[in-house]
Structure 1
């Protein structure tokens, strides 16, 4: 049985915190897999393995859980030995993007 060569994929994982105010984390993960289906499975496994819980300064238990695997895509250029494009996505509403992206809006986390 021939094995497929491993190709690099980017997975976008959305995590949710149980703390208040509510906080989300969007993680971009580089994976190597033989197919997009395998990469999606690995992304789900990686996301579940990244779930955690801890006590904050106020003594509250904060849980980070995987909410969704948003996207899995083969990297745009698989030559990772030099500067390269990894992932691109498009959107239609800049106001919505600015509202959700704290680095653009000036909000603190």
Structure 2
């Protein structure tokens, strides 16, 4: 068997004491694996390893947890060279996309 490049989309969640709601991070992670099943296992392990907690400058506790492995798929282009497409997805509801992509509207998170 040969290895392929996979892209895992991980969703991490940060909870901070005293904050109204959580902060989410969407992470696109490159993996090498011999199968999608192996890549999914690696994605879960990597996401779990990224979980951590720390104290902010103001003393409040911030905890990052893996919320979900959103997707795992073979990289679109076989060769990882300049300009290679790694991951793509399709959607119809542009307004919904704008609601979750603050940079599109010039907002900061």
Is the TM-score greater than 0.5?
yes
* Unaligned residue ranges in structure 2 (runs of 5+): none
Distance 1:83 1:108 in 2: 27
Matches within 5 A, 1:1-109: 4-19=1-16, 20=19, 21-109=21-109
Q: TM-score, normalised by structure 1?
A: 0.92
Number of positions where the alignment pairs a residue of Structure 1 with one of Structure 2: 106
Kindly report the root-mean-square deviation, in angstroms, between the aligned alpha carbons of the 2 structures. 1.1
CA distances 1:49-100 after superposition (whole Å, capped 9, x unpaired)? 0111111121011001000000000001111134211111011111110011
* Unaligned residue ranges in structure 1 (runs of 5+): none
Distance 1:108 1:75 in 2: 29
